[in-house]
Amino acid sequence: MKNSLKSIIILLFFSITCFSQELPVEKSENHILIEGTNIYLIPPSSFEPSKNFKGFQKPIDPTSMIMAMEIPGPYNEVIKGFSEEMMKARGMDLISKKEVRIAGFDGLIIELNQAANGMVFSKRILIYGDEKASTFINGVYLKDSVQLGESIKASVLTTYIDTALVTDPRAALDYTLDEDAGALKFHSAIGNGMLFNRDLKTPTESLDKVVLITDKSFAKMEIPDNKAFCISRLNEYPDKFSVIDDKGINEIELDGLSGFELYASNDADETEEMYQVMLFEEDGGYFLFVGTYLAGNENALEDIKAVINTFERK
């Protein structure tokens, strides 16, 4: 997906004022490790480690959370996307942007408001990284929840990074894939998902342009029509994709979960095709697998399917 990584980054998250600020250089006995990361923070007293994503959430309030996510994008490139103009175009109102230093990394703390699903959310986001990857610590709450918001904002500022800690980025995921099933390589973990390609480069430079991204919903939702939901998902990607009619939309079942597979083509770029699989849990969660490749390349498609077909829940 052309420029998909940068677009996804911008869609996921966003200055007046800039100044230097230091975060903790030591962790206290109250710091808690976010599983699968080297990140510690002190969550609000009402928060618990999340079973749905890397971070913490308030069990009785799905609108409040602190989520950690690493993406394979150089920090200096990532922050270029956080302009006031871009945020405003996407319905985000920038409140402030502040420079920070954390564990030897350059970083930013961004505060913003954003409307979604008839509600207005406030966010405090810590972003830091280097030339290889960038990390987001995203604190989210309803704008009107002033007291809760203050505790979430304070919690984000307790972030401590243990750069000496050896981590398995897949440890916190509640599913596995046989990474040797197809001729693809594990590139990185992104939130609740994984990124695979052939050459471990971003963007990939392989001849067939094959990329596989997996994900799991971090929130439960009522989905009245799973098939329609799969089709509507095509509207969520940076480029517009349309179902390839002669290949259709087919039922699929993996590890006891039912769902749908579909084939789609890029409306703006006829050389790119997509294979998408969605599997649905009974409680409203779902797993998503998106493979893109050079149109007509059956070897790429078979490698994507080979990995997806090994899906198992832990």
Number of Cα atoms under 13 Å in the Cβ half of residue 248: 3
Burial 135-154 (b: 16+ CB within 10 A, else e): bbbbbbbeeebeebbebbbe
Rounded-to-integer distance, Cα 178 and Cα 79, Å: 34
Q: What is the pLDDT of residue 305?
A: 98
What mean pLDDT is predicted for residues 115-123?
A: 91
Q: What is the pLDDT of residue 122?
A: 96
21 has pLDDT over 60: no
User: Which contacts of 150-153 are long-range, i.e. CB under 8 A and separated by 24 or more positions?
Assistant: 151/44, 151/45, 152/44, 152/64, 152/66, 152/124, 153/111, 153/124
What mean pLDDT is predicted for residues 3-7?
A: 49
Number of Cα atoms under 13 Å in the Cβ half of residue 181: 16
Rounded-to-integer distance, Cα 142 and Cα 133, Å: 29
C-alpha torsion sign, points 86, 90, 95, 99: negative
Query: Which segment of 17-31, 33-47, 252-266, 275-289 scores lowest on mean pLDDT?
Result: 17-31
Could you read off the pLDDT of 169-220 as tens digits, one per residue? 888 899 999 999 999 999 999 989 999 999 999 889 999 999 999 999 988 8
What mean pLDDT is predicted for residues 226-236?
A: 95
4 has pLDDT over 70: no
Q: Into which CATH architecture does domain 175-313 fall?
A: 3-Layer(aba) Sandwich (3.40)
Could you read off the pLDDT of 291-304 as tens digits, one per residue? 999 999 999 999 99
C-beta neighbour count of 264 within 10 angstroms: 23
5 has pLDDT over 80: no
Delimit the CATH 3.40.1000.10 region(s) of the chain.
Answer: 4-161, 175-313
Two tokens, residue 19: 């100044």
Q: What is the pLDDT of residue 15?
A: 32
* Residues 6+ away with beta carbon under 8 Å from 15: 84, 94, 96, 97, 110
pLDDT averaged over every residue in the chain: 90
What mean pLDDT is predicted for residues 145-168?
A: 94
Report the percent of the chain where pLDDT is more than 70: 93
Rounded-to-integer distance, Cα 271 and Cα 102, Å: 42
Q: Report how far apart, in Å, the C-alpha atoms of 74 and of each of 85, 129, 138, 150 are.
A: 21, 7, 18, 30
Burial class from Cβ neighbours inside 10 Å (0-12, 13-18, 19+) for residue 209 reads: buried
**CATH topology for the 4-161 domain:** Protein Transport Mog1p; Chain A (3.40.1000)
- pLDDT-derived band at 14, boundaries 50, 70, 90: very low
Rounded-to-integer distance, Cα 81 and Cα 77, Å: 7
pTM of the predicted model as reported, rounded to 2 decimal places: 0.77
225 has pLDDT over 50: yes
